[in-house]
Structure 1
């Protein structure tokens, strides 16, 4: 028997595409959107009349590039001056500006007004779309959701995702790492009780990451993560675009690199051909009216793709070696490989088959749907549904945790990939004669310099026993529990003086009043769209009525009932249409 309460849903909030799923009667159901597609582009567009989300937004992007926002996830939890933000701005056709607080904002024109929107707001719109898709399918309002995030997301990025959920009207019961979600999906399908070492290989459009888990029944233990956040399927697409730009130069003596419309058309054709090479050895590149009315015709085969992108594919495989090393494993220790992400097709499958045994590839779930599939299972487990057995999983710290020391260096206390819960202690000495206090800054990240890592919090330890530098000993203790809550304690060994700071993974990144404002605006957007839908529905009804009246008039006139008024009425109906 199905649970009476509205089920919690699982949402894969992707950089390029998003997906939503639900568990009902013990079965996972990936939900199709209003276009009948199970994958929705993570894309939002603004026009003089309306806001568009998903398929409709992507469809008009070529003609409305400056007001069509994509890749918003890449800016979540980042400052405007972040290197990744600046790199993205160089590539995007839309405008990104700096807010008064130093955060990035997407600047768009909507209904003849300029609006600056945060990455959280854009992500909230996509989450809201997924919520609506689920509610239409389930037939009742949805409140609770598990939302997935990349394993490498830091504290700020996770908090930003929580804020986006709140703006969208969702109660995010849990943030789930994408690789863990994928492993849950495949583990749930197979329900093996023997221990298995599973590698989750995620090659998305923007990033790639690899995770090794140990699975036994419903127990999932993350062993290690590795990633390449600057490399994904789009880098392959750009390499292909560069190749064909050069070909066009030779064939037509024309450089289209500054023609954004032509580049968008060519990029779409390259992406389509790349994906098709998963099932064919050669694909045509056909673009109608690419520039100056000229059609472009060429082709792409597997050998050419490998030759053009060999260095990129080699780089993509580097995290595989890194994660094996971190897990203290070899290729022979891996029992199964789970593929996720839209780019895990040719030639990635061929490369993995060469490195691992071919039979190890698990393709039981569509790579585009695996993460949402697992998120839905976890959502059902978290919400107390009786149709899903309780899932237990042990995660690891996604990033190294430490404190700032002399010389602006980060002293590492809890290394990346440490099993949760984790506790580590480290002793430090004073660096100034007769020092009576010390400021502690807590960071997460892998860089040597503290300033290049993410600041989590700071506090002070007072009443240190005065002594020559190097004499007083301060013990720093880091404790991270299963929920990702970090507690940092410092103590002067001589006096027993101590201080503590608790850094919670669910504290808001945006000020409360900002979130409330965004929630209000999100509701206004929703009201506008509901009005447009009602108006569109009314117009359709009027048009249908006109068609019926015209048919009736036609039938009467065919019966030789000549009537001037019928002719006039028919003319009025035609004019109204």
Structure 2
């Protein structure tokens, strides 16, 4: 397979990425947008999905379904059909539960038709399939799907079933935190143990997760979800601000009817996105209330002031996840932002202040990160048979990190970090002291962290290297950690033509 796809499907939007020759690219839909609304509208003779369905909500709200992933796979009303809908609900069709399955009643012509949440999800994947086929000539469409961190097993099953109905070959599913780490290649380094916070700021939920990356393996240590504040909370604050401004000017309430409310919500949402990249946004709504047009301007500084309290609340999930893991902010090495609301500069600043010692990773568009990570995993699964999937599994791994040191020199490096799975390989080039001695001693030891003078009891092997010459500068060591826990080492020095092989039998590691 030369092409692999990654898909992220959330409550508010979906995104698809394609990986060719190890490089991923988030691809656009027919409208030229790389993020597609996860909205489906049932009209008399057709089913409309994506941006067209969202734009038609003002007129066809009762037949338009959004946030379907919150109810897919649920057998009863859990109070999450329209999380945080507020001003943006716009009269959208709400689910009911019959026969242990979420259903929607939509009007198609003169008939009222029942459609299941599973059917709605399938329509979303059918649209994504159209996007995918425009970027490959192959019949098979291998895909890894990224699902929200809060997804239940039943929700994941519905997503996989819908993808298969749309003719995708589902290789695996990954959760938001794992996909985010994959997108930035954090699993490629098997020499470091790091803790990473992934903060997902979506339209209906904020998810804070802690991911441990050890020996190339990703482990989601904690994940906390809240729908109390999210991207739509920010939009609703703008709706209230603009409604108040309109009332001050024209003494009319644009929130008193569904159509006006939906128009103002759409304008507010667009304003929020514009202010993520621009310092000022022009807002114009034609015939907002009783034929009166509304026009205003909002600066980023004013926007930051309006949403300051809500943005601060976004950080609560990340901080709580860190605390539940028994960690402190200082122990977090990297922070990844995902979701459309994570593009807001003020939020990025707040996150950077909250984790001052961490690298803030937001070079990729936050609303495209998850699809990119999923396509990276799809490429690995379809093209690299030795790759260990990030799916939950038990993998034999090192209990302690392994280091290699040349006695009497500054060369002292990590070979394999704790948690490195078997079967693994690593190559080190260690600098010899200058001028080169006639002989040196190489110590391979295990420890929790690098130490200058490793205790004798921690040594796995001590090798004397003799017959070095003045031109000797580097020792090359090839390490092969086998599945039985044994460590096979090849030591070479090209100038003196030294080539030695030895085996460290499996032990404490």
TM exceeds 0.5?
Answer: yes
Instruction: Provide the rounded CA distance (Å) in 1 between the counterparts of 2:190 and 2:263.
Output: 46
The 3 A distance-change label for structure 1 pair 106 and 100 is closer
- Look up the SS of the partner of 1:344 in the other structure: helix
Aligned to 2:115: 117
Instruction: Provide the rounded CA distance (Å) in 2 between the counterparts of 1:55 and 1:71.
Output: 14
Determine whether 1:172 maps to 2:170.
yes
Instruction: Provide the rounded CA distance (Å) in 1 between the counterparts of 2:370 and 2:7.
Output: 8
Aligned to 2:438: none
Check whether the contact 2:200–2:207 (CA below 8 A) recurs between aligned residues. Answer: yes
Aligned to 2:5: 9
Instruction: Provide the rounded CA distance (Å) in 2 between the counterparts of 1:85 and 1:366.
Output: 28
Task: Please state how far the C-alpha of 1:182 moved relative to its aligned partner.
Answer: 0.9
For residues 219-261 of structure 1, the C-alpha deviation after alignment (integer angstroms, 9 at most, x for no partner) is 2222222221332100111122122222222221112223222
Instruction: Provide the rounded CA distance (Å) in 2 between the counterparts of 1:342 and 1:356.
Output: 21
For residues 207-227 of structure 1, the C-alpha deviation after alignment (integer angstroms, 9 at most, x for no partner) is 011212223564222222222
- Look up the SS of the partner of 1:393 in the other structure: coil
Aligned to 1:375: 374
Question: Map of 1:221-236 to 2, 5 A cutoff?
Answer: 221-236=219-234
Aligned to 1:220: 218
Determine whether 1:363 maps to 2:349.
no
Instruction: Provide the rounded CA distance (Å) in 1 between the counterparts of 2:297 and 2:392.
Output: 45
Count of aligned pairs between the two proteins? 392
Bigger drift between 312-321 and 126-135 goes to: 312-321
Task: Please state how far the C-alpha of 1:126 moved relative to its aligned partner.
Answer: 0.7
Task: Please state how far the C-alpha of 1:80 moved relative to its aligned partner.
Answer: 4.5
Bigger drift between 102-111 and 47-56 goes to: 102-111
Check whether the contact 1:342–1:368 (CA below 8 A) recurs between aligned residues. Answer: yes
Instruction: Provide the rounded CA distance (Å) in 1 between the counterparts of 2:174 and 2:136.
Output: 23
Question: Map of 1:14-413 to 2, 5 A cutoff?
Answer: 14-85=10-81, 91=89, 93-110=91-108, 112-187=110-185, 193-216=191-214, 218-346=216-344, 347-357=346-356, 360-383=359-382, 385-386=383-384, 390-393=387-390
The 3 A distance-change label for structure 1 pair 188 and 314 is closer
Aligned to 2:432: none
Check whether the contact 2:72–2:118 (CA below 8 A) recurs between aligned residues. Answer: yes
Q: Which has the higher strand share?
A: 2
TM-score in terms of structure 2 length = 0.70
Task: Please state how far the C-alpha of 1:343 moved relative to its aligned partner.
Answer: 0.4
Instruction: Provide the rounded CA distance (Å) in 2 between the counterparts of 1:109 and 1:366.
Output: 38
The 3 A distance-change label for structure 1 pair 221 and 181 is same
Instruction: Provide the rounded CA distance (Å) in 1 between the counterparts of 2:188 and 2:246.
Output: 50
Instruction: Provide the rounded CA distance (Å) in 1 between the counterparts of 2:299 and 2:76.
Output: 40
Check whether the contact 1:324–1:331 (CA below 8 A) recurs between aligned residues. Answer: yes
Task: Please state how far the C-alpha of 1:163 moved relative to its aligned partner.
Answer: 3.2
Task: Please state how far the C-alpha of 1:203 moved relative to its aligned partner.
Answer: 0.3
Instruction: Provide the rounded CA distance (Å) in 2 between the counterparts of 1:276 and 1:143.
Output: 34
Check whether the contact 2:197–2:318 (CA below 8 A) recurs between aligned residues. Answer: no
Task: Please state how far the C-alpha of 1:358 moved relative to its aligned partner.
Answer: 8.0
Q: Which has the higher helix share?
A: 1
Task: Please state how far the C-alpha of 1:303 moved relative to its aligned partner.
Answer: 4.2
Instruction: Provide the rounded CA distance (Å) in 1 between the counterparts of 2:61 and 2:8.
Output: 25
For residues 396-442 of structure 1, the C-alpha deviation after alignment (integer angstroms, 9 at most, x for no partner) is 9xxxxxxxxxxxxxxxxxxxxxx9xxxxxxxxxxxxxxxxxxxxxxx
For residues 539-576 of structure 1, the C-alpha deviation after alignment (integer angstroms, 9 at most, x for no partner) is xxxxxxxxxxxxxxxxxxxxxxxxxxxxxxxxxxxxxx
Aligned to 1:550: none
Bigger drift between 287-296 and 367-376 goes to: 287-296
Task: Please state how far the C-alpha of 1:193 moved relative to its aligned partner.
Answer: 4.3
For residues 482-534 of structure 1, the C-alpha deviation after alignment (integer angstroms, 9 at most, x for no partner) is xxxxxxxxxxxxxxxxxxxxxxxxxxxxxxxxxxxxxxxxxxxxxxxxxxxxx
Question: Map of 1:526-541 to 2, 5 A cutoff?
Answer: none
Instruction: Provide the rounded CA distance (Å) in 1 between the counterparts of 2:219 and 2:323.
Output: 17
Check whether the contact 2:196–2:333 (CA below 8 A) recurs between aligned residues. Answer: yes
The 3 A distance-change label for structure 1 pair 392 and 142 is closer
Check whether the contact 1:20–1:31 (CA below 8 A) recurs between aligned residues. Answer: yes
- Look up the SS of the partner of 1:325 in the other structure: helix
The 3 A distance-change label for structure 1 pair 74 and 111 is same
Instruction: Provide the rounded CA distance (Å) in 1 between the counterparts of 2:71 and 2:237.
Output: 23
The 3 A distance-change label for structure 1 pair 111 and 140 is farther
Instruction: Please tell me the root mean square deviation across aligned C-alpha atoms, in Å.
Output: 2.8
Check whether the contact 1:79–1:85 (CA below 8 A) recurs between aligned residues. Answer: no
